[in-house]
């Protein structure tokens, strides 16, 4: 089976600074793939560039189609969804309007059912549906950002640091929902600083350092890797190199 998303030899630059160098990755159908790495490794940049927010040199194909000439909006229509690090919600609009706009590219008849699904996934959002997005707590905002992206019925959902700044109990909730999404047929590309949690639910994993992938493989193997454990999981093995 061919991969849903395949990125080949990708480079992303800010002016003269190359933030991502020669990166290749694949996300298969019904897979959770995670990219772990320290702050500033280029994970967010890579994710944004796959979505089309920054120009990317290299090849990005989604469902067998080349994305290089497509705008963000076209990529959304094809079934690519991004929940960005800063969430980018419509803060002066209520929860329901935010969700409704998530389905901007979807037939209106389907949008109602989508909204019910999102409310089932995130009951908290239903309670707060008339509240302004800007007045929600951090966790609720993260749920709304995910819900809004899901309204567009993505085949691949890209999550950028969904656990950032959230209480552990909410983080657990969000990771549980990510696995539920996989069961419902949505593939997930997850960028996380919380490598331990991410590796636990992921199928495949890539480790990113200074703009490059230094390791890749099955998530369970990566989690067992001593160097990764030392650098990202907070366990110190005897003699492990610390970067």
Residues in touch with another protein (CB under 8 A): 51, 53, 69, 71-73, 76-77, 81-82, 84, 87-93, 97, 100-105, 108, 148-149, 151-152
CA distance 3 to 119: 30
Q: Which is nearer to another protein, 37 or 152 (CB)?
A: 152
- Least Å distance, CB 93 to another protein, is 6
- DSSP annotation of 68 reads T
Bridge partner list, 17? 14
Q: Which is nearer to another protein, 100 or 192 (CB)?
A: 100
- Least Å distance, CB 76 to another protein, is 4
Q: Which is nearer to another protein, 57 or 227 (CB)?
A: 57
- Least Å distance, CB 108 to another protein, is 7
Q: Which residues contact 116 (CB under 8 A, 6 or more apart)?
A: none
Using left for φ > 0, alpha for ψ between -120 and 50, and beta otherwise, residue 165 falls in left
- Least Å distance, CB 16 to another protein, is 19
Q: Which residues contact 157 (CB under 8 A, 6 or more apart)?
A: 81, 83, 146, 149, 150, 181, 186, 187, 188, 189
């Amino acid at each position: 089976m061919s991969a849903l998303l395949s990125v080949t030899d990708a480079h992303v630059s800010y002016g003269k600074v190359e933030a991502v160098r020669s990166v290749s990755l694949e996300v298969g159908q019904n897979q959770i793939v995670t990219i772990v790495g320290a702050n500033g490794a280029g994970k967010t940049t890579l994710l944004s560039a796959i979505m089309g927010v920054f120009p990317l040199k290299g090849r990005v194909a989604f469902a067998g189609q080349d994305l290089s000439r497509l705008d963000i909006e076209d990529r959304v229509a094809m079934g690519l969804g991004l929940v960005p690090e800063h969430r980018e919600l419509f803060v002066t609009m209520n929860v329901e309007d935010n969700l409704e706009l998530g389905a901007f590219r979807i037939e209106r008849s389907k949008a109602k059912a989508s909204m019910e699904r999102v409310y089932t996934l995130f009951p908290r959002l239903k309670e707060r549906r008339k509240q302004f997005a800007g007045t929600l707590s951090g966790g609720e905002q993260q749920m709304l950002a995910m819900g809004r992206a899901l309204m567009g019925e993505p085949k691949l959902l890209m999550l950028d640091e969904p656990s950032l700044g959230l209480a552990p109990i909410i983080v657990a909730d969000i990771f549980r929902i990510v696995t539920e999404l996989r069961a419902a047929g949505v593939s997930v590309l997850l960028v996380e600083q919380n490598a331990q949690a991410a590796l636990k639910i992921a199928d495949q994993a890539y480790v990113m350092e200074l703009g490059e992938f230094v390791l890749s493989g099955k998530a369970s193997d990566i989690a067992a890797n001593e160097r990764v454990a030392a650098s990202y999981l907070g366990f110190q093995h005897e003699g492990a190199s610390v970067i």
